[in-house]
Chains A and B, each alone.
Chain A
Amino acid sequence: MGRKLLLEHINVPGINTFDVYRSKGGYASVEKALKKLTPDEVVEEVKKSGLRGRGGAGFPTGMKWGFLAKPEGVARYLVCNADESEPGTFKDRYLMTHIPHLLIEGMIVGSYALGAAVSYIYVRGEMMPQIRILEKAIAEAKVAGFLGKNILGTGYSLELYVQPGGGAYICGEETALLESLEGKRGNPRIKPPFPAIAGLYGCPTVVNNVESIAAVVPIINDGGEEYAKIGIGRSTGTKLISAGGNLVKPGVYEIDLGLPVEEFLYSDEYCGGIANGKRLKAVVAGGSSVPILPANLFMKTINGDARLMSYESLSDGGFVSGSMMGSGGFIAFDEDQCIVRNTWNFARFYHHESCGQCSPCREGTGWMEKVLHRLENGHGSMSDMDLLVDVSKKIEGNTICPLGDAAAWPVASAIRHFRDEFEWHVSHASEAVTRNYGLAHYADPLPKPEPKPEATA
């Protein structure tokens, strides 16, 4: 068991209040950063830590901070992306509900590092309780002198605001978030320019996920090099995983990156195995938008290595036989789940959440949803699978923002790995509406010489 960095004191009663949080060593990083380090040194520590963005893309946070343009006389902003809406991901909500001060502490250090005088936490509109919790925490921090003018007598001033979002998944895309924060319709902007050059109100802006900002706190407390010792390869530190689906113990877990997936899935410390003694059929490893994998490909990579919970290992095999770390929304499916129905459900979500700005995503998501709905209800045809793959290819990469890719990947990967289940829905149409396809061969050991699971299709 690794050391918990973010959730260390999660079970301390009253940790959501300032006094208890402070007594457990909270806000030490603010004191250290503001009194002992220059902003550039803070950025340097984050760079050394190798921290990668926890929101989904996995872009190194320190590098992102380093890219921030610093023209004279122009305000800079740090915006925290708490618009967590990915199906399967609920780690940020957990963090904000239970230890809101960790996020606020990270925001102060981050804002100091970037030289921001005003920072925002953009919280998903549906998370009203969390918004109230954060506002209370900000008020407490202000009373204690950690926010506002002249923090701790260092001369650095910071105003921190919480902004409720408009209630759209697309507002979690960073430029759409900035548009929404400015009070406009949450349409993603066309890049370039990137937010690091022209973001909020046209000023240089850094947008970071809640967990990335929270991870800055242990990085400053222990030093970036110490943080980088945890984890494996370029996946450093700890990561919150929101485990859901047919698990014995679903919930939010903090893991050291590099933990074997088998241990994560079956050990009692984490998920505790599949619920009701059933067998694992498929896993979505990082939130609904990442490619879905059958059990055999998820446990072992195509080369036969055991898969680890790390950015590199999960994406081993690329889009052919790999997946992605994403935002850590781990969804396990047992043998009784229908992949076609699940894929339709995801497609329905992306259809509903497409902003409608650019045509491939606006029209294509609806099209895929309709075809999948037809398949699931036994009205499909054999050509539908090729149609879906083709439509997803036409969407992928041709849109303004990554929502198009996010809509295309689950559909394309489900058909790639579970094609025979889709075909069964066509060939056994009446049966498909009464029972599910079952586990079939999806948990069989991977064939050694010709390692292609769909070869049996």
Chain B
Amino acid sequence: MKVTIDGISVEVPDGTSILNAARIIGGDVVPPAMCYYSKLAGSGGKCRTCLVKVSKGSEKDPRPMPKLVASCRTNVMDGMEVQNLTSPEVIEARKGVVEMLLINHPLDCPVCDQAGECHLQDLGFEHGAVKTRYEFDRRTFNKIDIGDKIQLHMTRCILCYRCVYTADQITDHRIHGILNRGDHSEISTYIQAAVDNDFSGNVIDVCPVGALTDKTFRFKNRVWFTKPVDAHRDCDHEKCNGKVTLWYKGEDVIRVTARKDVYGEVEEFICNTCRFDKKKTADWVIEGPRKISHHSVISSNHYETLKPLPVVKTNPVLQEANKTQFERETRL
């Protein structure tokens, strides 16, 4: 199947979604996704940030689709042409969606543990407006402890349903879900039942915002001051293979998470023992520093220096313009 996204063609197998086809191309043509999670079946379609315009349905039926479609839940057809960044309509709609997502979000990034690895923060930075037009009280909820390791701060939630799918598909039973409807709807458990399950900690990793946080890490540190290191251990849980990222602050492991890829999706889900109980270097076999995209503030740990683009090196004008960067690189 051949699909063209923003003028770039790619061959993908049948049944690939537009979003995944864009991820094969990579780079800027990939629509942002807040609710879609490739490891969770049935996720996606809710946040509407990945809306794209299908300007040509397929080779057989070249009519454009009448409305913008959610790229995460729309499969490609042969010869389909998709506009993402090249369509003003999409940019406008996406800006609207970002605004909608932010109107009830507390914007408490300075005290939020997710800051630095928050998808909503990235999304707002890339696609949002500087000022809000919303002049009313934001909805607020009380914080809820779900179990002794996880805290739910519902005020920050964007209702992506990822944690609901995680509990359905990764753990053996789900005891939390969506209550109420509309903008009153909330993630909750009945009578605050503890989410107590070998894999419950994964809801923290899948949460795109700071609604579900690790109580063993809350307020310990900002993520960009910590150093991510890949490590593994011989986990005796049958479904967990013990491949994690350790987050060091000095000598101490202050947090353990699953390994997240460039789209913030975990590579493999990990069990709660690995996540919450093994916080000594001696528990782990260190593999090496975790590669972090230089777009992320976490990369301010300088594992990889910001290298000037190749085009700069051959152009004296650009070399002059990027002088400080060049000097810093040589100094390092």
Contact = CB atoms under 8 A, between A and B. Distances in A.
B93 A394 contact: yes
B280 to A, nearest CB: 41
**Main SS at interface, chain A:** helix
A185 to B, nearest CB: 7
Interface string B239-250: 000000000000
A355 B182 contact: yes
B103 A190 contact: no
B182 A356 contact: yes
Given A190-B73, A367-B103, A400-B45, A362 B183 contact: yes
A397 B73 contact: no
A259 interface: no
A356 B164 CA distance: 14
A357 interface: yes
B71 to A, nearest CB: 12
A356 B178 contact: yes
Interface string B166-190: 0000000000011011111100000
A358 B101 CA distance: 10
Contacts of B133: 387
A158 to B, nearest CB: 32
Interface string B70-109: 1001000000000000000000010011011101100000
Contacts of B70: 190, 400
A363 interface: yes
Given A190-B70, A397-B67, A359 B182 contact: no
Contacts of A351: 182-183
B48 A359 contact: yes
Contacts of A360: 48, 96-97, 100
B47 interface: yes
**Main SS at interface, chain B:** loop
A387 B103 CA distance: 14
B182 A394 contact: no
B97 A359 contact: yes
Given A185-B178, A363-B101, A394-B99, A357 B67 contact: no
A355 B181 CA distance: 5
B233 interface: no
A352 interface: yes
B271 interface: no
Nearest to A365: B182
Nearest to A354: B182
Contacts of A96: none
Interface in A348-401: 351-360, 362-367, 370, 387, 391, 393-395, 397-400
Nearest to B94: A398
A399 B48 contact: yes
Interface in B214-257: none
B68 interface: yes
A227 B73 CA distance: 41
A160 interface: no
A170 interface: yes
A356 B158 contact: no
A359 B68 contact: no
Contact of A394 (B96, B161, B184, B185): B96
Nearest to A387: B133
A356 B159 contact: yes
A183 to B, nearest CB: 14
Contacts of A353: 181-182
Contacts of B93: 394, 398
A122 B161 CA distance: 27
Nearest to A370: B136
B97 A394 contact: yes
Given A168-B181, A394-B100, 8 more contacts: A170-B181, A185-B177, A185-B178, A356-B180, A359-B48, A394-B96, A398-B97, A400-B46
28 contacts: A190-B73, A351-B183, A354-B182, A355-B185, A356-B159, A356-B181, A356-B183, A357-B159, A358-B45, A358-B47, A358-B48, A359-B49, A359-B100, A359-B158, A359-B159, A360-B48, A363-B100, A365-B182, A366-B183, A367-B103, A393-B96, A394-B100, A395-B96, A398-B67, A398-B93, A398-B96, A398-B97, A400-B46
